[in-house]
Structure 1
Amino acid sequence: MTAGGSIKPIAAAMVLAALALPALAGQPTKIDFVDETVGTEPKSLVPVVGIWHIESDSGKKVLAVDGRQWKEGQSSAGIADKARALYGERYAEFLDRVQAYAYFPYVIAPNIENFTNGEITVRFQGLSGRIDQGAGILFNLKPNGNYLTVRANCLENNLVLWKFENGKRSSVKWVRNTPTATRQWHDLKVRIIGTKVEGYLDGKLYLEHTLAQPVSGRVGLWSKADSHVQFADYTVTAAD
């Protein structure tokens, strides 16, 4: 059970319906957690896998994935209700894939239903984690649970584009020697132009890859296993 407890079916539907506004081209959608409550599960992003709650960093509210309590196969509290609110009749298919990927915590931005082109940015800092200190931007999330993520790792100093498809994870593109110090804030950005994916860390372009198919679907934030990572200033800017 997550720090904020479960979300009841009606409450989950109301929250998602209230936030489900289309992202306008060129107009940033920014989530800064200023209206959230420290110690509770976030309301502005929907936890799907893992333990997510609001923390304070030097007086600023931030989102944290708390892998210190991580257990393999642990979905977020109230996930069935959240999945139903997100995907309607296809929620069972989505839940099946979530269980296959339960090693990898993630949250979804409920107000962005179909991101195809543009930029997604976030600030993050890795606090702890013996197995991993992973911070990723998730995108191309489909109703069947398949998705892509570009992630940095404070333990490995690399930037990787991962593909999660049909219950299996595979690497698409690796870039090594990307300095990512623990307990320091870093900027991560993913830029999508048609089928082209670009990954930036601290303002520097490290990763470039061309996908077989254009990007579409929901977006969010991603982590792995025992990572305790904080996120701030999550921004999605859609392009035409």
Structure 2
Amino acid sequence: MVMLLVMAAIVAAALPVLAKGPRQISFAREAPGAEARSFSALVGTWHVDRDGSRPVYAADGRNWEQGVMAPGAAAKATALYGAGSAQFLTGLERYRYFPLSVCNEIKNFRGGSIEVAFKGVSGREDQAAGIAFAIKPNGDYLLLRANALEDNLVLFRMEQGRRATVQWADKVPVPSGQWHDLKLVVEGKRILGYLDGVKYVDQPWAEPVDGRMGLWSKADSYVFFDKLTVSER
């Protein structure tokens, strides 16, 4: 019996890690003006909006004020991190320049892909849309973001209150007023970033990717998000 258990364990360890079924989040049944039920807005202003008749999730920086946490941020942080919420909020307040909304339904993204559609609507300082991932209990995280005013795609590390560039890709067409597809892939020891099906970021990454994920923006950006798909490994 013991031998059978040992053999079963060896076989299980040898099997490839299979991707979980993709998890899709849309905002089709959400009420415009309200916060999305599937997300916890922590920094900036986030609400369900409309692109014509299409319900979308918006980072709304039209009345942006630097350093404003989202309404109810403390209670939302408690729901996400429990007893560690105070540390999380303290860490996250160092990035109050960057609107952030954390997905409630994905508790720990360790690998696979995250894909979301976005559309830059307005913003004089920025029109930025990003996927935040590996969000840690101390508020630090990694970020793949596109900017319609700069035409670039960048992988950032947000650590100890600072934003550091990991890999920067220029000449990436991100015209405003159009829908685009942003995709992050964590595959083995690499982080890949795609925009509209084209790979621009390919970064070796030895550290474990581990933590919550969410949607991100910057400053006065007014950006729509829709069709979030997460495939975990």
Number of the residue aligned with 2:199 = 205
With the length of structure 2 as denominator, give the TM-score of the two structures: 0.90
Q: Please tell me whether the aligned partners of residues 190 and 200 of structure 1 are also in contact (alpha carbons under 8 angstroms).
A: yes
Q: Per-residue displacement from partner, 1:119-161 (whole Å, max 9, x unpaired)?
A: 1000001011111000001101001101001000000000000
Report how far residue 212 of structure 1 moved: 3.4
Amino acid at match of 2:75: D
Give the alignment partner of residue 102 of structure 1, picking from 68, 74, 96.
Answer: 96
Q: CA deviation at 1:25?
A: 3.7
From 65, 72, 81, give the equivalent of 1:78.
72
Tell me the residue number matched to 2:150. Answer: 156
Paired with 2:49 and 2:123, the residues of 1 have a C-alpha distance of: 17
Q: Retained in 2: the 8 A contact 1:194–1:215?
A: no
Secondary structure of the structure 2 residue equivalent to 1:69: coil
Question: Which of 10, 31, 40 lines up with 1:37 in the alignment?
Answer: 31
Which residue in the other structure is 1:191 paired with?
Answer: 185
Residue matched to 1:221 = 215
Larger radius of gyration: 2
Helix, strand or coil for the counterpart of 1:68?
Answer: coil
Identical aligned pairs, as a percentage? Answer: 48
Runs of 4+ residues over 6 Å off in structure 1: none
| Deviations 1:60-102 (CA, angstroms, capped at 9, x unpaired) | 1000110111111100110111111111111111111121000
CA contact (8 A) 1:45 1:107 kept: yes
Kindly state the Cα deviation for residue 176 of structure 1 after the two structures are TM-superposed: 0.2
TM-score, normalising length: structure 1: 0.88
Q: Distance in 2 between matches of 1:231 and 1:34?
A: 12
AA matched with 2:183: K
Q: State how far apart, in whole Å, the 1-side matches of 2:140 and 2:146 are.
A: 20
Match of 1:132 among 121, 126, 139: 126
Q: By how many angstroms is 1:205 displaced?
A: 0.6
Tell me which residue corresponds to 2:15: none
The unaligned stretches of length 5 or more in structure 2 are 1-17
Contact 2:92 2:138 in 1 (8 A): no
**CA–CA separation in structure 1 for the residues paired with 2:64 and 2:145:** 19
- Aligned pairs, how many? 216
Residue 237, structure 1, aligned to residue 231, structure 2: yes
1:183 deviates by 0.2
Question: Does 2:42 match 1:52?
Answer: no
CA contact (8 A) 2:30 2:36 kept: yes
Match of 1:145 in 2: 139
Q: Which runs of 5+ in 1 are unaligned?
A: 1-23
Q: Is the 8 A contact 1:44 1:109 kept in 2?
A: yes
Match of 2:3 in 1: none
CA–CA distance in 1 between the matches of 2:156 and 2:173? 19
2:160 aligned residue: 166
1:64 paired with 2:58, answer: yes
